[in-house]
Amino acid sequence: MKICITGTAGFIGYHLAIKCINEGHEVYGIDSINDYYDIKLKHGRLLDLGISKEIRDLELAESSKYPNFKFYKCDLADSDGLNSFFKENSFDAVCNLAAQAGVRYSLTHPKSYIKSNIDGFLNILEMCRYYDIENLSYASSSSVYGLNETYPFSSLNSTDHPISLYAATKKSNELMAHTYSHLFNIRTTGLRFFTVYGPWGRPDMALFMFTKAALEGQTIKVFNNGEMSRSFTYIDDIIDGVFKVIMNPASPSSSWDPSMPSPESSSAPYTIYNIGSNENVNLMDFIHALEEKLNVNISKEMLPMQPGDVPKTFADISSISKDLNYNPQTSYVEGISKFVNWYKVFYEKNK
């Protein structure tokens, strides 16, 4: 299969590219390599994929490590550059993981989210439409559940009350995808990720920030006075699910009832899945496991809830488990240990 993965210099995109490459597929990556966080980390991921730092915009680069991987540096909001790329290549599937991420950043940089998550995603939909790509999977987020307090979060729940612009753009992606599924028969699957962590993770995520602070003897910020919990999900478990989705694109639901429409399916080839861990973890337990791994007591500043954040996420993954035999295996204690081991090696090499 010939697969296009956007966001391949990013955390999940990098790991998915490795998985698809190792499974023998022909993989083409796209990323703008923006400076939302440390570019050294993005270049590190690309170097591990065999792509050197000397990457020119809008020029296809071949991997020195994997003969079945190529990389194209392009912003998804650049419709002309994207069109040139898709015109030259005929893809069997697209997985769109490129996005402007982060709840808190959306409070101060709202236009970045419209450009990347709305304009960029529309361009991907248009590429699928005009170049007859029927298999599209894309990143949504558990943030779409917003004010909902029915736990665990089910893909059958309402997501009409987001509390951050980031969440609103991800909800918009789901609506846009359904429209293109209905009008153009594109098979779309939205993936609501739940707090993904692991080696090569994002520096703005909790485990990365906590580990960095702990090793440098700094104080960490703990919001809502630690009264928070998450379905922390190890990266390998996420990638297992995403890969299964690519190999099993959405189909119209035979049981869909227009008089009682299901939010997770449709008469169109459209599906929404929660993808995360079925283990809900208290934030303080998560921090304690990190302290045990590092053998330190981390200094903590207890703070109130941040605007746009939620006290709890808890994934109901019954739909993806039933449909695709998705079964996350990694405990948060094991996952933290693997992350810390990677972190120490990576930053020792990149002092």
Contact 328/233 with Cβ under 8 angstroms?
yes
Find the catalytic residue in 37, 72, 166, 270. Answer: 166
Give the model's pLDDT for residue 313: 86
Give the model's pLDDT for residue 108: 86
Per-residue pLDDT of the chain in tens (351 residues, 90 and over written 9): 999 999 999 999 999 999 999 999 999 999 999 988 889 999 999 999 999 988 888 889 999 999 999 999 999 999 999 999 999 999 999 999 999 888 777 888 889 999 999 999 999 999 999 999 999 999 999 999 999 888 899 999 999 999 999 999 999 999 999 999 999 999 999 999 999 999 999 998 999 999 999 999 999 999 988 888 899 999 999 999 999 999 999 999 998 898 989 999 999 999 999 999 988 899 999 999 999 999 999 999 999 988 867 788 889 999 999 999 999 999 999 999 999 999 999 987 666
Give the model's pLDDT for residue 63: 96
Give the model's pLDDT for residue 351: 64
Judging by DSSP bridges, how do beta strands 69-73 and 26-31 pair with one another?
parallel
Q: Which regions of the chain does DSSP assign to beta strands (E)?
A: 2-6, 26-31, 60-62, 69-73, 93-96, 135-141, 187-193, 196-197, 220-222, 229-230, 233-234, 270-275, 281-282, 300-302
Q: Is residue 152 reached through a cis peptide bond, with omega within 30 degrees of 0 on the bond before it?
A: yes
Report which of 160, 137, 88, 168 is spatially closest to residue 269, judged by C-alpha positions: 137
Query: Could you tell me where the DSSP H helices lie in 27-115?
Result: 39-48, 79-88, 110-113
Q: What is the CA radius of gyration of the chain?
A: 20
In angstroms, rounded to a whole number, what is the distance separating the alpha carbons of residues 180 and 150?
A: 30
Containing 5, the helix (H) or strand (E) segment is strand 2-6
Does residue 166 carry a catalytic annotation? yes
